Structure 1
Amino acid sequence: MSSSDSPVGLLLVNLGTPEAPDIASVRRYLAQFLSDRRVVDLPRALWLPILYGVVLNTRPARSAKLYELIWNSDTGEGPLKTFTRLQAEKLQARMGSPRLIVDYALRYGSPSIATQIEALAAKNCERIALLPLYPQYASSTTGSAADAAFDALRDKRKQPALRIAAPYYDDPAYIDALAANIGGALAALDFEPEVIVASFHGLPQAQIDRGDPYRDHCEATWRLLCASLGMSPERLRLAFQSRFGRSQWIGPYTSDVVTELAGQGVKRIAVVAPGFAADCLETIEELGVEIRDLFHRNGGEKYARLPCLNDSEESIALIETLAKRELAGWM
């Protein structure tokens, strides 16, 4: 079989999830995640004693309880894994080429990037495109996924050609998908939000100061989304969630924005997470429960968490657009 006739692999990549909602599984997942130098770039001599002496002895029990609340018991998966798998399955069916093999991988947990690259190579894929489902580039997400892919090929005598898709934070197809998804979700509510909060995952400010473009990408997405939805920056507020530790993270923090809105007398809000390709613990529990309860405690009355793109029609059409761009010249 010539290289021009061999199958082409497309690997959708997202962050990850524990294998089960129990303490041991969550501890393994957090150990892998928080040991990544791109995620926590503190000196190892400082960070590892904290990680193994404090974090992994305290955080897994609480996180396991939260994962249990959102776990997909029918499939034995966390929601992020379920949605990423469905995205790959639906994209395979949608694109319909016998030469294209679509699969998915998780940066932390399983199936791993290394395992899935090996599986595609075993199916004679001499060309593999990695599509990280992170619209906004961050060293700790897209950069880490690229590291894992290159590490998987490091010792191979026969390496497939590898492409890593660019971030798509300002891509019209992405903005259109978000706007359609948000518009549909708002229309389904039984109230009209006075303010919508666009909550992106946060990053330590120190990583931004060292050159990470993530905040710029988030702000670009937010501005384009404001324009697409016809909303002012006051109606669609920018915020960042999931702060961890005591260091300064990029802001404004979602918790502060929601508290401020309630304090100003705003009674009805909705929250959306444009940077997440699939719902996960940070959207379902943090935004759907913690931030909701915070809003209500401070005087808010109506609150809605809007769903991520997940495996919606808008999502699969977007991923198809991105995939065709990366596969150009190979298919």
Structure 2
Amino acid sequence: MARLRPEPPHTHGQTPRTGVLVVNLGSPEAPTAAALRPYLKQFLSDPRVVEIPRLLWWPILNLIILNTRPAKSAEKYASIWTDAGSPLRVHTERQTKILAGYLGEAGHRDWVVRWAMRYGDPAIRATLEEMRALGCDRILVMPMYPQYAGSTTGSVMDEVARGLLEWRNLPELRFVRSYHDHPGYIAALADAVHRHWQHNGQAERLILSFHGVPRFTLDKGDPYHCECHKTARLLAEALGEDGKRIQVTFQSRFGKAEWLQPYTQPTLEALARDGVKSVDVMCPGFAADCLETLEEIAMECKTAFIAHGGRQFNYIPCLNEDDAWMRCLRDIVLEHAGHWCRDDPRRGASDRGTGAQHARTMGALQ
């Protein structure tokens, strides 16, 4: 059993605060092999991510993968790195600041809104400690994964629980499990596709590429596959499509085991060989652009599609800081906060002017 540590000094009269912890997957500190090694070690040591017995996996990870993969991954990260750093970190930080602004305009200016990464920094445990020091006795955890999987949302829940093991005075805790079928999320995706079509026209096919997971997870009861397909079905309905031009695929395979199919890149190659000349590709399982969307899809898959006879490959960016998505994120948080909102003594400000607040916040981030 973990040893309980003393609580931070208590100040009488301090108003308890509500906290919102936004969590995404993570990113290395730099696009270098030296930075990738500890990041990959933490990621691939998670038993939720790699469900291989530890005695078998340890030598494979430490003696083979961590000696070969960091340099290759560093090259991929370097191709998408920005002056501000990793795209995923940049977008997650911006999303959190905008969310805080929207919650403030909804009357919750005293809420503590922070972001953390499941792997790398800022770490979940350290961020929880910061929120405790700021007086948060209620914390809502918002994993940014639309579809639930044990290897993503489940792993965030594990790490939050581990982070609280040594707390004597535990906070009231709530989790957003998934939002794969939230009307605001579906509407934001549909708006993004419509805007793309208005500016670029419609391609022959719309490919919805979700991050892959091993096939056995579906057989063992993980709902991820079903939630991905529900997102796709609801998006097709919102677009007024019958589904014939829309196809669900899964990307980012790792290892030799079978993963959820059909695989994204082989599907694109087959479409090109069969005479399909144009495709639009979207990644609805990602709340922000990252290595898997910007490098794997927009670069690698585009090259493969063109090489096999395709002519036009259009990548539709993730929602990132899209205004409709940011308002949806606020709504998801408030819906899950429930009576916390009613109990907030500072509640009462109207939601008017959220668009202006978004514009001001975005301006400050430029």
TM-score range relative to shorter protein: over 0.9
Distance 1:2 1:204, change over 3 A: farther
Give the CA deviation at 1:5. Answer: 4.3
Letter in 1 for 2:179: Y
For residues 103-126 of structure 1, what are the alpha-carbon distances to aligned partners after superposition, in whole Å with 9 as ceiling and x for unaligned?
Answer: 111000100111111111100010
Matched, 1:170 2:181: yes
Alpha-carbon offset, residue 233 of structure 1: 2.2
- 2:340 is paired with a residue of what secondary structure? coil
Q: Do residues 56 (structure 1) and 41 (structure 2) align?
A: no
The aligned counterpart of 1:149 is 160
| Secondary structure in structure 1 of the residue aligned to 2:152 | helix
Shift of 1:182: 1.7
Q: In structure 2, what is the equivalent of residue 120 of structure 1?
A: 131
Gaps of 5+ in 1: none
How far did 1:286 drift?
Answer: 0.3
Distance 1:4 1:171, change over 3 A: farther
Aligned equivalent of 1:183? 194
Of 141, 147, 158 in structure 2, the residue corresponding to residue 136 of structure 1 is 147
| Alignment-derived partner of residue 291 in structure 1 | 301
Deviation for aligned residue 1:247: 0.4
Post-superposition Cα deviations, 1:188-227, rounded to whole Å, max 9, x if no partner, equal: 22x4311010000000011111111100110111111111
Q: CA 1:183–1:4 in 2, change beyond 3 Å: closer, same or farther?
A: farther
Identity %: 42
Give unpaired runs (5+ residues) of structure 2.
Answer: 1-10, 342-366
How far has the Cα of 1:311 moved from its partner?
1.1
User: Which residue of the partner structure matches residue 106 of structure 1?
Assistant: 117
**Which residue of structure 1 lines up, in the alignment, with residue 335 of structure 2?**
325
The residue aligned with 2:206 is: 196
Q: Given that residues 215 and 259 in structure 2 are in contact (C-alpha distance below 8 angstroms), is that contact kept between their aligned partners in structure 1?
A: yes
Q: Which amino acid aligns with 2:172?
A: A
The 1-side partners of 2:244 and 2:68 are apart by: 39
Shift of 1:45: 1.0
- Tell me the amino acid that sits aligned with residue 224 of structure 1: L
Query: Matched residues in 2 for 1:234 and 1:252: separation?
Result: 16
In the alignment, structure 1 residue 13 sits paired with structure 2 residue 23: yes
The CA deviation string for residues 111-157 of structure 1, in whole angstroms up to 9 with x for no partner, is 01111111111000100000011110000000000000010001111
Aligned partner (choices 32, 41, 44) of residue 22 of structure 1 = 32
For 2:79 and 2:189, how far apart are their aligned partners in 1? 27
What is the TM-score with the length of structure 1 in the denominator? Answer: 0.96
What is the match of residue 218 of structure 2?
A: 208
Residue 81 (structure 1) aligned with residue 94 (structure 2): no
In structure 1, the partner of 2:278 is 268
Tell me if 1:94 matches 2:102.
yes
RMSD: 1.4
Number of equivalent positions:
328
Q: Deviations over 1:41-86 (max 9, x none)?
A: 100111111111111111110111111111122x2x2101110100
**How big is the shift at 1:98?**
2.4
> Structure 1 residues 2 and 322 mapped into 2: Cα distance closer, same or farther (>3 Å)?
farther
1:226 maps to which residue? 236
Deviations 1:16-63 (A, max 9, x none): 000111111111110000000000010011111111111111111011
- Please tell me the residue identity of whatever aligns with 1:93: G
In 2: Cα distance, 1:18 partner to 1:38 partner = 20
Structure 1 partner of 2:318: 308
**1:210/1:202 CA distance change after superposition, 3 Å:** same
Give the structure 2 partner of residue 69 of structure 1. Answer: 79
Which residue identity does 2:195 align to in structure 1?
G
Cα shift readout 1:287-327 (whole Å, capped 9, x = no counterpart): 00110011001100011111001111122111011011111
Mapped to 1, the partners of 2:337 and 2:132 lie a distance apart of 17
Report what 1:256 is aligned to: 266
| 2:148 counterpart SS class | coil
Question: Which amino acid is the alignment partner of residue 236 of structure 1?
Answer: I
Give the CA deviation at 1:159: 1.4
Q: Distance in 1 between matches of 2:29 and 2:235?
A: 35
The TM-score, its normalising length taken from structure 2, stands at 0.87
